[in-house]
Structure 1
Amino acid sequence: MVTKKEITKTIKDQSKETIEELLAKGDSLKEEVASAITHGLGVIFSIVALVMLILQATKSGSAWNITAVSIFGATMILLYLFSTLMHSLMHTKANKVLQILDHAGIYLLIAGSYTPFALITLRGPLGWTLLGIVWGVGILGIIWKLYSTGKHVWISNASYLILGWCCLFAIKPMYEALGLQGFLLLLGGGLAYSLGVIFYVWARLPYNHAIWHLFVLAGSVLIFLSIFYYVAPAPAPLS
Protein backbone atom coordinates (compact mmCIF):
# COMPACT_ATOMS: atom_id res chain seq x y z
CA MET A 1 0.00 0.00 0.00
CA VAL A 2 1.35 3.40 -0.97
CA THR A 3 1.79 5.70 1.98
CA LYS A 4 0.96 9.40 2.12
CA LYS A 5 4.65 10.13 2.61
CA GLU A 6 5.58 8.30 -0.60
CA ILE A 7 2.87 10.12 -2.55
CA THR A 8 4.10 13.48 -1.24
CA LYS A 9 7.70 12.60 -2.17
CA THR A 10 6.65 11.59 -5.70
CA ILE A 11 4.75 14.85 -6.20
CA LYS A 12 7.74 16.87 -4.99
CA ASP A 13 10.11 14.96 -7.30
CA GLN A 14 7.82 15.49 -10.27
CA SER A 15 7.47 19.18 -9.44
CA LYS A 16 11.23 19.49 -9.16
CA GLU A 17 11.72 17.82 -12.54
CA THR A 18 9.10 20.06 -14.09
CA ILE A 19 10.76 23.19 -12.73
CA GLU A 20 14.18 22.00 -13.92
CA GLU A 21 12.78 21.27 -17.36
CA LEU A 22 11.15 24.69 -17.53
CA LEU A 23 14.38 26.38 -16.48
CA ALA A 24 16.31 24.38 -19.07
CA LYS A 25 13.82 25.36 -21.74
CA GLY A 26 14.06 28.97 -20.62
CA ASP A 27 17.84 28.93 -20.89
CA SER A 28 17.60 27.23 -24.28
CA LEU A 29 15.17 29.87 -25.52
CA LYS A 30 17.44 32.68 -24.33
CA GLU A 31 20.39 31.10 -26.14
CA GLU A 32 18.39 30.73 -29.35
CA VAL A 33 17.34 34.38 -29.13
CA ALA A 34 20.98 35.40 -28.62
CA SER A 35 22.03 33.29 -31.61
CA ALA A 36 19.28 34.79 -33.76
CA ILE A 37 20.21 38.34 -32.77
CA THR A 38 23.94 37.90 -33.43
CA HIS A 39 23.41 36.59 -36.93
CA GLY A 40 20.51 38.97 -37.49
CA LEU A 41 23.13 41.67 -37.16
CA GLY A 42 25.10 39.68 -39.70
CA VAL A 43 22.25 39.97 -42.21
CA ILE A 44 22.22 43.76 -41.84
CA PHE A 45 26.00 43.95 -42.11
CA SER A 46 26.03 41.70 -45.19
CA ILE A 47 23.49 43.81 -47.07
CA VAL A 48 25.42 47.00 -46.34
CA ALA A 49 28.70 45.26 -47.20
CA LEU A 50 27.36 44.05 -50.56
CA VAL A 51 26.34 47.57 -51.57
CA MET A 52 29.71 48.97 -50.49
CA LEU A 53 31.61 46.26 -52.36
CA ILE A 54 29.70 46.84 -55.59
CA LEU A 55 30.33 50.59 -55.39
CA GLN A 56 34.00 49.97 -54.66
CA ALA A 57 34.32 47.46 -57.50
CA THR A 58 32.91 49.96 -60.00
CA LYS A 59 36.13 51.96 -59.53
CA SER A 60 37.94 49.21 -61.42
CA GLY A 61 35.61 49.69 -64.38
CA SER A 62 35.30 45.91 -64.60
CA ALA A 63 32.10 43.86 -64.63
CA TRP A 64 34.40 40.97 -63.68
CA ASN A 65 35.25 42.59 -60.36
CA ILE A 66 31.63 43.54 -59.69
CA THR A 67 30.50 39.97 -60.32
CA ALA A 68 33.17 38.46 -58.08
CA VAL A 69 32.43 40.70 -55.08
CA SER A 70 28.69 40.27 -55.63
CA ILE A 71 29.07 36.51 -55.28
CA PHE A 72 30.88 37.00 -51.98
CA GLY A 73 28.26 39.45 -50.70
CA ALA A 74 25.35 37.25 -51.78
CA THR A 75 26.74 34.12 -50.09
CA MET A 76 27.36 36.14 -46.93
CA ILE A 77 23.74 37.31 -46.89
CA LEU A 78 22.50 33.76 -47.42
CA LEU A 79 24.60 32.35 -44.57
CA TYR A 80 23.40 34.90 -42.03
CA LEU A 81 19.80 34.79 -43.26
CA PHE A 82 19.60 30.98 -43.07
CA SER A 83 21.19 31.00 -39.61
CA THR A 84 18.90 33.74 -38.28
CA LEU A 85 15.79 31.98 -39.55
CA MET A 86 16.90 28.63 -38.15
CA HIS A 87 17.43 30.02 -34.66
CA SER A 88 14.26 32.11 -34.83
CA LEU A 89 12.11 29.12 -35.85
CA MET A 90 13.90 26.48 -33.79
CA HIS A 91 10.76 24.74 -32.52
CA THR A 92 8.79 24.71 -35.77
CA LYS A 93 8.33 22.15 -38.53
CA ALA A 94 10.45 24.30 -40.84
CA ASN A 95 13.51 23.95 -38.62
CA LYS A 96 14.82 20.75 -40.21
CA VAL A 97 14.89 22.36 -43.66
CA LEU A 98 16.40 25.53 -42.23
CA GLN A 99 19.09 23.49 -40.48
CA ILE A 100 20.11 21.97 -43.81
CA LEU A 101 20.17 25.43 -45.41
CA ASP A 102 22.16 26.79 -42.46
CA HIS A 103 24.87 24.15 -42.88
CA ALA A 104 24.82 24.54 -46.67
CA GLY A 105 25.31 28.26 -46.15
CA ILE A 106 28.67 27.61 -44.51
CA TYR A 107 29.97 25.89 -47.64
CA LEU A 108 28.52 28.67 -49.78
CA LEU A 109 30.22 31.40 -47.77
CA ILE A 110 33.60 29.66 -47.80
CA ALA A 111 33.45 29.28 -51.58
CA GLY A 112 32.00 32.77 -51.98
CA SER A 113 34.77 34.28 -49.85
CA TYR A 114 37.43 32.72 -52.07
CA THR A 115 35.81 33.90 -55.30
CA PRO A 116 37.13 37.51 -55.38
CA PHE A 117 40.62 36.40 -54.34
CA ALA A 118 40.67 33.64 -56.96
CA LEU A 119 39.28 35.67 -59.87
CA ILE A 120 40.77 39.10 -59.16
CA THR A 121 43.81 38.68 -56.90
CA LEU A 122 45.34 35.42 -58.17
CA ARG A 123 43.85 35.35 -61.67
CA GLY A 124 44.97 32.97 -64.40
CA PRO A 125 45.35 29.17 -64.01
CA LEU A 126 46.11 29.31 -60.28
CA GLY A 127 43.02 31.39 -59.56
CA TRP A 128 40.77 29.16 -61.64
CA THR A 129 42.22 26.06 -59.98
CA LEU A 130 41.50 27.43 -56.51
CA LEU A 131 38.02 28.49 -57.59
CA GLY A 132 37.28 25.04 -59.01
CA ILE A 133 38.45 23.30 -55.85
CA VAL A 134 36.47 25.39 -53.37
CA TRP A 135 33.25 25.42 -55.36
CA GLY A 136 33.55 21.75 -56.32
CA VAL A 137 34.13 20.64 -52.74
CA GLY A 138 31.54 23.13 -51.49
CA ILE A 139 28.83 21.73 -53.79
CA LEU A 140 29.71 18.17 -52.75
CA GLY A 141 29.49 19.27 -49.12
CA ILE A 142 26.03 20.73 -49.69
CA ILE A 143 24.82 17.52 -51.36
CA TRP A 144 26.24 15.49 -48.46
CA LYS A 145 24.44 17.76 -45.98
CA LEU A 146 21.12 16.98 -47.63
CA TYR A 147 21.45 13.43 -46.33
CA SER A 148 23.56 13.78 -43.19
CA THR A 149 22.55 16.95 -41.34
CA GLY A 150 22.78 16.24 -37.62
CA LYS A 151 25.05 13.24 -38.17
CA HIS A 152 28.85 12.94 -38.21
CA VAL A 153 29.27 16.44 -36.80
CA TRP A 154 33.04 16.08 -36.49
CA ILE A 155 33.30 15.35 -40.22
CA SER A 156 31.37 18.53 -40.98
CA ASN A 157 33.57 20.63 -38.71
CA ALA A 158 36.72 19.13 -40.22
CA SER A 159 35.48 19.72 -43.77
CA TYR A 160 34.75 23.38 -43.02
CA LEU A 161 38.25 23.90 -41.65
CA ILE A 162 39.99 22.01 -44.46
CA LEU A 163 38.04 23.84 -47.16
CA GLY A 164 38.61 27.15 -45.41
CA TRP A 165 42.38 26.70 -45.36
CA CYS A 166 42.85 25.04 -48.75
CA CYS A 167 44.34 28.29 -50.04
CA LEU A 168 47.60 27.49 -48.25
CA PHE A 169 49.05 26.11 -51.49
CA ALA A 170 48.65 29.61 -52.95
CA ILE A 171 49.74 31.54 -49.87
CA LYS A 172 52.86 33.08 -51.45
CA PRO A 173 51.21 34.57 -54.57
CA MET A 174 48.26 35.64 -52.42
CA TYR A 175 50.58 37.53 -50.09
CA GLU A 176 52.49 39.12 -52.96
CA ALA A 177 49.30 40.29 -54.67
CA LEU A 178 47.48 41.56 -51.57
CA GLY A 179 50.40 43.10 -49.72
CA LEU A 180 50.95 42.82 -45.98
CA GLN A 181 47.82 44.63 -44.75
CA GLY A 182 45.42 42.94 -47.15
CA PHE A 183 46.93 39.55 -46.40
CA LEU A 184 46.77 40.06 -42.61
CA LEU A 185 43.09 40.97 -42.85
CA LEU A 186 42.43 37.80 -44.83
CA LEU A 187 44.49 35.73 -42.39
CA GLY A 188 42.71 37.32 -39.42
CA GLY A 189 39.36 36.41 -40.93
CA GLY A 190 40.40 32.80 -41.36
CA LEU A 191 41.70 32.63 -37.79
CA ALA A 192 38.49 34.14 -36.41
CA TYR A 193 36.40 31.51 -38.18
CA SER A 194 38.71 28.71 -37.02
CA LEU A 195 38.97 29.82 -33.39
CA GLY A 196 35.21 30.15 -33.27
CA VAL A 197 34.89 26.40 -33.86
CA ILE A 198 36.27 25.88 -30.34
CA PHE A 199 33.15 27.52 -28.91
CA TYR A 200 30.90 25.77 -31.42
CA VAL A 201 31.91 22.35 -30.07
CA TRP A 202 32.04 23.53 -26.43
CA ALA A 203 28.45 22.46 -25.80
CA ARG A 204 28.51 22.89 -22.01
CA LEU A 205 29.49 26.55 -22.19
CA PRO A 206 26.45 28.81 -21.79
CA TYR A 207 25.71 30.75 -24.97
CA ASN A 208 28.48 28.88 -26.78
CA HIS A 209 26.63 29.12 -30.09
CA ALA A 210 26.11 32.86 -29.81
CA ILE A 211 29.80 33.29 -28.98
CA TRP A 212 30.69 31.24 -32.04
CA HIS A 213 28.42 33.51 -34.09
CA LEU A 214 30.38 36.54 -32.92
CA PHE A 215 33.62 34.93 -34.13
CA VAL A 216 31.98 34.19 -37.48
CA LEU A 217 30.80 37.79 -37.72
CA ALA A 218 34.30 39.04 -36.88
CA GLY A 219 35.75 36.78 -39.58
CA SER A 220 33.30 38.12 -42.14
CA VAL A 221 34.15 41.73 -41.25
CA LEU A 222 37.89 41.12 -41.61
CA ILE A 223 37.56 39.36 -44.95
CA PHE A 224 35.18 42.07 -46.15
CA LEU A 225 37.79 44.71 -45.30
CA SER A 226 40.47 42.77 -47.18
CA ILE A 227 38.25 42.53 -50.26
CA PHE A 228 36.96 46.11 -50.00
CA TYR A 229 40.36 47.78 -49.81
CA TYR A 230 42.70 45.38 -51.62
CA VAL A 231 40.64 43.30 -54.08
CA ALA A 232 37.47 45.06 -55.29
CA PRO A 233 39.16 48.19 -56.74
CA ALA A 234 42.04 46.26 -58.33
CA PRO A 235 42.55 46.51 -62.12
CA ALA A 236 40.52 44.07 -64.18
CA PRO A 237 42.23 40.69 -64.79
CA LEU A 238 43.68 40.09 -68.21
CA SER A 239 43.30 36.33 -68.12
Structure 2
Amino acid sequence: MNLVRFMNNRVPPHKRYQPTDYEHAANCATHALWIIPSLLGSSLLHFLSEGQWERVSAWLYGAGLSSLFIISTLFHTVSWKKSHLRSVEQCFHMCDRMVIYFFIAASYAPWLNLRELGPWACHMRWLVWVMASFGTTYVFFFHERYKLMELICYTVMGVFPALVILSMPEQSGLYELLVGGACYCLGMVFFKSDGIVPFAHAIWHLFVAMGAAVHYYAIWKYLYTAPANQVQTSR
Protein backbone atom coordinates (compact mmCIF):
# COMPACT_ATOMS: atom_id res chain seq x y z
CA MET A 1 0.00 0.00 0.00
CA ASN A 2 1.25 3.48 -0.86
CA LEU A 3 1.13 5.30 2.48
CA VAL A 4 2.09 8.63 0.92
CA ARG A 5 -1.54 9.20 0.01
CA PHE A 6 -2.66 8.72 3.59
CA MET A 7 0.14 10.27 5.64
CA ASN A 8 2.55 13.18 5.34
CA ASN A 9 6.11 13.25 6.61
CA ARG A 10 6.77 13.69 10.30
CA VAL A 11 7.63 17.23 11.37
CA PRO A 12 10.08 18.57 14.01
CA PRO A 13 8.72 18.91 17.58
CA HIS A 14 8.31 22.69 17.30
CA LYS A 15 6.08 22.46 14.22
CA ARG A 16 2.52 21.22 13.68
CA TYR A 17 1.91 18.14 11.59
CA GLN A 18 -0.16 18.80 8.46
CA PRO A 19 -2.64 15.95 7.89
CA THR A 20 -3.56 14.72 4.42
CA ASP A 21 -7.13 15.23 3.19
CA TYR A 22 -7.89 11.63 4.15
CA GLU A 23 -6.60 12.22 7.66
CA HIS A 24 -8.52 15.51 7.95
CA ALA A 25 -11.73 13.72 7.02
CA ALA A 26 -11.04 10.94 9.52
CA ASN A 27 -10.22 13.46 12.27
CA CYS A 28 -13.57 15.18 11.73
CA ALA A 29 -15.65 12.02 11.44
CA THR A 30 -14.21 10.17 14.44
CA HIS A 31 -15.46 12.85 16.85
CA ALA A 32 -18.46 14.20 14.92
CA LEU A 33 -20.09 10.75 15.16
CA TRP A 34 -20.23 11.08 18.95
CA ILE A 35 -21.82 14.52 19.22
CA ILE A 36 -25.45 13.34 19.13
CA PRO A 37 -24.84 10.29 21.39
CA SER A 38 -23.12 12.55 23.93
CA LEU A 39 -26.05 15.00 23.90
CA LEU A 40 -28.57 12.17 24.25
CA GLY A 41 -26.54 10.55 27.01
CA SER A 42 -26.31 13.84 28.88
CA SER A 43 -30.07 14.31 28.60
CA LEU A 44 -30.61 10.81 29.97
CA LEU A 45 -28.57 11.61 33.10
CA HIS A 46 -30.65 14.75 33.63
CA PHE A 47 -33.81 12.68 33.29
CA LEU A 48 -32.52 10.19 35.88
CA SER A 49 -31.42 12.89 38.34
CA GLU A 50 -33.38 13.04 41.57
CA GLY A 51 -31.51 15.51 43.76
CA GLN A 52 -29.74 18.84 43.39
CA TRP A 53 -26.24 17.40 43.20
CA GLU A 54 -27.27 14.73 40.75
CA ARG A 55 -28.62 17.44 38.45
CA VAL A 56 -25.53 19.64 38.88
CA SER A 57 -23.22 16.71 38.26
CA ALA A 58 -25.20 15.63 35.21
CA TRP A 59 -25.01 19.15 33.80
CA LEU A 60 -21.27 19.47 34.40
CA TYR A 61 -20.47 16.05 33.02
CA GLY A 62 -22.79 16.42 30.05
CA ALA A 63 -21.37 19.84 29.19
CA GLY A 64 -17.80 18.53 29.35
CA LEU A 65 -18.57 15.40 27.32
CA SER A 66 -20.52 17.18 24.58
CA SER A 67 -18.11 20.12 24.40
CA LEU A 68 -15.18 17.80 23.86
CA PHE A 69 -16.67 16.27 20.71
CA ILE A 70 -18.26 19.47 19.40
CA ILE A 71 -15.20 21.69 19.73
CA SER A 72 -12.86 18.97 18.44
CA THR A 73 -15.06 18.53 15.36
CA LEU A 74 -15.23 22.27 14.76
CA PHE A 75 -11.48 22.66 15.05
CA HIS A 76 -10.68 19.82 12.68
CA THR A 77 -13.26 21.08 10.19
CA VAL A 78 -11.80 24.59 10.27
CA SER A 79 -8.28 23.20 10.05
CA TRP A 80 -9.27 21.22 6.98
CA LYS A 81 -11.51 23.62 5.07
CA LYS A 82 -10.49 27.06 6.39
CA SER A 83 -6.80 26.64 7.13
CA HIS A 84 -6.07 29.92 5.32
CA LEU A 85 -7.88 31.73 8.15
CA ARG A 86 -4.91 31.36 10.46
CA SER A 87 -6.26 33.40 13.39
CA VAL A 88 -9.57 31.52 13.34
CA GLU A 89 -7.84 28.16 13.16
CA GLN A 90 -5.50 29.17 16.00
CA CYS A 91 -8.47 30.17 18.15
CA PHE A 92 -10.24 26.87 17.58
CA HIS A 93 -7.02 24.96 18.22
CA MET A 94 -6.62 26.68 21.59
CA CYS A 95 -10.23 25.93 22.46
CA ASP A 96 -9.69 22.30 21.44
CA ARG A 97 -6.80 22.04 23.88
CA MET A 98 -8.53 23.97 26.66
CA VAL A 99 -11.69 21.87 26.59
CA ILE A 100 -9.65 18.76 27.42
CA TYR A 101 -8.97 20.16 30.90
CA PHE A 102 -12.65 20.97 31.34
CA PHE A 103 -13.59 17.49 30.15
CA ILE A 104 -11.25 15.80 32.63
CA ALA A 105 -12.65 17.83 35.54
CA ALA A 106 -16.22 17.22 34.38
CA SER A 107 -15.59 13.47 34.10
CA TYR A 108 -14.58 13.36 37.77
CA ALA A 109 -17.44 15.59 38.96
CA PRO A 110 -20.13 12.88 39.31
CA TRP A 111 -17.84 10.63 41.35
CA LEU A 112 -16.58 13.43 43.57
CA ASN A 113 -20.05 14.91 44.10
CA LEU A 114 -22.15 11.78 44.47
CA ARG A 115 -19.87 9.32 46.27
CA GLU A 116 -18.81 9.45 49.91
CA LEU A 117 -15.03 9.93 49.75
CA GLY A 118 -14.08 10.91 53.29
CA PRO A 119 -13.22 14.32 54.83
CA TRP A 120 -9.76 14.81 53.31
CA ALA A 121 -10.87 13.83 49.83
CA CYS A 122 -13.71 16.36 49.64
CA HIS A 123 -11.19 19.05 48.71
CA MET A 124 -10.67 17.30 45.38
CA ARG A 125 -14.20 18.38 44.41
CA TRP A 126 -12.97 21.93 43.87
CA LEU A 127 -9.28 21.19 43.31
CA VAL A 128 -9.99 19.54 39.94
CA TRP A 129 -11.54 22.80 38.73
CA VAL A 130 -8.55 24.77 39.99
CA MET A 131 -6.32 22.43 38.02
CA ALA A 132 -8.53 22.86 34.94
CA SER A 133 -8.33 26.65 35.31
CA PHE A 134 -4.53 26.53 35.51
CA GLY A 135 -4.45 24.24 32.49
CA THR A 136 -6.59 26.52 30.34
CA THR A 137 -4.52 29.53 31.44
CA TYR A 138 -1.36 27.67 30.46
CA VAL A 139 -2.79 26.95 27.00
CA PHE A 140 -3.74 30.61 26.58
CA PHE A 141 -0.21 31.84 27.25
CA PHE A 142 1.96 28.95 26.05
CA HIS A 143 -0.12 27.21 23.39
CA GLU A 144 1.99 24.76 21.34
CA ARG A 145 5.19 26.20 22.79
CA TYR A 146 6.09 23.29 25.07
CA LYS A 147 4.26 20.26 23.70
CA LEU A 148 5.77 17.76 26.12
CA MET A 149 4.73 19.92 29.05
CA GLU A 150 1.15 20.00 27.73
CA LEU A 151 1.10 16.21 27.60
CA ILE A 152 2.45 16.02 31.16
CA CYS A 153 -0.22 18.45 32.38
CA TYR A 154 -3.01 16.38 30.83
CA THR A 155 -1.58 13.20 32.33
CA VAL A 156 -1.17 14.64 35.83
CA MET A 157 -4.67 16.06 35.85
CA GLY A 158 -6.07 12.77 34.59
CA VAL A 159 -4.25 10.62 37.14
CA PHE A 160 -4.05 12.73 40.31
CA PRO A 161 -7.80 12.84 41.13
CA ALA A 162 -7.95 9.08 40.48
CA LEU A 163 -5.93 8.58 43.66
CA VAL A 164 -8.95 9.88 45.55
CA ILE A 165 -11.36 7.76 43.55
CA LEU A 166 -9.31 4.66 44.35
CA SER A 167 -9.88 5.31 48.05
CA MET A 168 -13.69 5.18 47.75
CA PRO A 169 -15.29 2.99 50.44
CA GLU A 170 -17.80 1.95 47.76
CA GLN A 171 -15.77 0.26 45.01
CA SER A 172 -18.47 -0.38 42.42
CA GLY A 173 -17.50 1.19 39.11
CA LEU A 174 -13.78 1.09 39.84
CA TYR A 175 -13.11 -1.53 37.18
CA GLU A 176 -14.80 0.56 34.49
CA LEU A 177 -12.89 3.66 35.61
CA LEU A 178 -9.60 1.81 35.22
CA VAL A 179 -10.57 0.41 31.82
CA GLY A 180 -11.59 3.85 30.58
CA GLY A 181 -8.37 5.36 31.90
CA ALA A 182 -6.39 2.63 30.13
CA CYS A 183 -8.09 3.58 26.84
CA TYR A 184 -6.95 7.18 27.25
CA CYS A 185 -3.41 6.14 28.15
CA LEU A 186 -3.09 3.74 25.22
CA GLY A 187 -4.48 6.36 22.89
CA MET A 188 -1.77 8.81 23.89
CA VAL A 189 0.70 6.64 22.00
CA PHE A 190 -1.11 7.57 18.78
CA PHE A 191 -1.56 11.18 19.90
CA LYS A 192 2.19 11.58 19.39
CA SER A 193 2.48 9.38 16.28
CA ASP A 194 1.51 11.75 13.47
CA GLY A 195 3.77 11.09 10.50
CA ILE A 196 4.66 7.65 11.83
CA VAL A 197 1.29 5.88 11.84
CA PRO A 198 -1.31 6.75 9.17
CA PHE A 199 -4.47 8.27 10.68
CA ALA A 200 -2.74 8.41 14.08
CA HIS A 201 -4.82 11.33 15.32
CA ALA A 202 -8.07 9.69 14.21
CA ILE A 203 -7.04 6.53 16.06
CA TRP A 204 -6.40 8.69 19.13
CA HIS A 205 -9.94 10.04 18.73
CA LEU A 206 -11.32 6.49 18.73
CA PHE A 207 -9.49 5.69 21.96
CA VAL A 208 -10.92 8.87 23.50
CA ALA A 209 -14.41 7.84 22.40
CA MET A 210 -13.94 4.35 23.87
CA GLY A 211 -12.66 5.74 27.17
CA ALA A 212 -15.52 8.24 27.36
CA ALA A 213 -18.07 5.52 26.55
CA VAL A 214 -16.78 3.23 29.30
CA HIS A 215 -16.77 6.07 31.83
CA TYR A 216 -20.26 7.15 30.81
CA TYR A 217 -21.51 3.60 31.29
CA ALA A 218 -20.01 3.53 34.79
CA ILE A 219 -21.57 6.87 35.73
CA TRP A 220 -24.95 5.83 34.36
CA LYS A 221 -24.93 2.40 36.00
CA TYR A 222 -23.35 3.07 39.39
CA LEU A 223 -24.32 6.68 40.12
CA TYR A 224 -27.67 7.22 38.42
CA THR A 225 -29.33 3.80 38.40
CA ALA A 226 -27.66 2.23 41.46
CA PRO A 227 -29.63 1.60 44.68
CA ALA A 228 -29.88 4.67 46.87
CA ASN A 229 -27.56 3.26 49.52
CA GLN A 230 -24.70 3.16 47.00
CA VAL A 231 -24.93 6.82 46.05
CA GLN A 232 -24.15 9.78 48.30
CA THR A 233 -26.34 12.62 47.03
CA SER A 234 -25.68 15.18 49.75
CA ARG A 235 -22.50 16.92 50.68
Q: Normalized against structure 1, the TM-score is what? A: 0.82
**Match of residue 102 from structure 1:** 96
Match of 1:226 among 209, 218, 225: 218
Please name the residue that 1:237 is paired with: 233
Q: Amino acid of the residue matched to residue 150 of structure 1?
A: E
Structure 1 runs of 4+ aligned residues shifted over 2 Å read: 23-27, 122-128, 171-174, 232-239
Q: Which residue of 2 aligns with 1:131?
A: 125
**Overall identity of the aligned pairs, in %:** 26
SS of the equivalent of 2:115 reads helix
* Alignment correspondent of 1:73: 62
Amino acid at match of 2:188: V
Q: Distance in 1 between matches of 2:140 and 2:193?
A: 25
Q: How many pairs are equivalent?
A: 213
3-state SS of paired residue (1:205): coil
Q: How many angstroms does 1:236 deviate by?
A: 5.0
Is the contact between residue 166 and residue 174 of structure 2 (CA under 8 Å) also seen in structure 1?
Answer: no
* Partners of 1:80 and 1:149 in 2: CA distance: 20
Give the RMSD, CA atoms, in angstroms: 2.2
Match of 1:28 in 2: 20
Distance 1:218 1:82 in 2: 18
Q: 2:189 aligns with which of 172, 182, 198?
A: 198
Relative to structure 1, the CA distance from residue 27 to residue 116 in structure 2 (aligned partners, 3 Å threshold; closer, same or farther) is closer
Q: Which moved more, 1:115-124 or 1:25-34?
A: 25-34
* Equivalent position amino acid for 1:65 in 2: E
The answer to whether the aligner puts 1:143 opposite 2:132 as a matched pair is no
Instruction: Tell which deviates more after alignment, 43-52 or 207-216.
Output: 43-52
Instruction: Establish whether residue 42 from structure 1 lines up as the match of residue 38 from structure 2.
Output: no
Q: Could you tell me whether the CA contact under 8 Å between 2:46 and 2:59 is conserved in 1? A: yes
Q: Which moved more, 1:215-224 or 1:47-56?
A: 47-56
Helix, strand or coil for the counterpart of 1:231? helix
Aligned with 2:170 (options 168, 177, 182):
177
Gaps of 5+ in 1: 1-19
Deviation at 1:126, TM superposition (A): 4.1
Paired residue type of 1:183: L
User: Does 2:19 match 1:51?
Assistant: no
More helix by share: 1
User: What one-letter code is carried by the residue in structure 1 that aligns with 2:216?
Assistant: F
1:64 aligns with: 53
Counterparts of 2:107 and 2:96, CA distance in 1? 16
| CA distance in structure 2 between the partners assigned to 1:98 and 1:27 by the alignment | 16
Q: Distance in 2 between matches of 1:40 and 1:215?
A: 14
